[in-house]
Amino acid sequence: MNIISANKLSLHYGDFQALRDIDLDVPAREITALIGPSGCGKSTFLRTLNRMNDLIPGVKITGEITYHGEDIYAPQVDVTALRKSIGMVFQKPNPFPMSIYDNISYGPKLHASLSKSELNDLVERSLHGAALWDEVKDRLKKSALSLSGGQQQRLCIARALSVSPDVLLMDEPTSALDPASTMKIEELMGQLKQDYTVIIVTHNMQQAARISDKTAFFLTGDLVESGQTDQIFTLPRDKRTEDYITGRFG
């Protein structure tokens, strides 16, 4: 079952067309990887899925993105609620300059009035969900900035989980991390897809091949092809996909 679908989606930054007639279905509770060279539109596409591009002046979007069958660009859509359902983890870890506990509880406190014990449970559950609880349970009142880069990124994942999203968008979440932290986040993504739909932008071909169920290859604003990851990496239908995956360009 598809949870998100883009239909004839185009995006302009002023006069520059960054996306051209994108048609892509995102299956629920799978990992979909968006691959392609720098500047090909994959991060721009990712940001259309929770309307992050709304924040950029001069952006014009045509076509449609549906989430659970509803057009997310319809006038009546509550963008705050949309971003609660479709959470985002960025390339560089960006914890708030506050305690580990407060990083996780900040979002839920904005959306609901919870008792102290409910907040405590939610913080623990979110940190468990990001495979971080055992490492930080004895220092929840310490600054989040005292964590290592890999721990900070998992904290940002826990923070995204704390508001009970449906979908997690990840924009190159491991590109700033060392190999050991990268492996932990990849393992975590494998666990997360049991409960969430994950869409990841990655430059790392091996990462896409290892972790994703579906892969979409972008090139200069076009979606060249998409399909099951095994098929894209072993029997791509388009010569440009084959050239990119085998390292002939990009």
For residue 183, is it within any domain? yes
Domains in the chain, number? 1
Band the pLDDT of 250: cuts 50, 70, 90: low
User: Which of the residue ranges 12-21, 69-78, 104-113 would you say has the lowest mean pLDDT?
Assistant: 104-113
What range defines the domain where residue 48 resides? 2-245
For residue 163, is it within any domain? yes
CATH number at residue 46: 3.40.50.300
Tens of pLDDT, residue by residue over 157-208, are: 999 999 999 999 999 999 989 999 999 999 999 999 999 999 999 999 999 9
Question: Checking phi first, is residue 194 left (phi over 0); if not, alpha (psi -120 to 50) or beta?
Answer: alpha
For residue 157, is it within any domain? yes
pTM for this model (two decimals):
0.95
For residue 238, is it within any domain? yes
How does strand 214-219 pair with strand 31-35? Answer: parallel
* pLDDT at residue 11 greater than cutoff 70: yes
For residue 173, is it within any domain? yes
CA angle 209-214-219, nearest 5°?
A: 80
For residue 250, is it within any domain? no
Q: For residue 246, give every residue at least 6 positions away whose Cβ sits within 8 Å of its Cβ, in sequence order, or none.
A: none
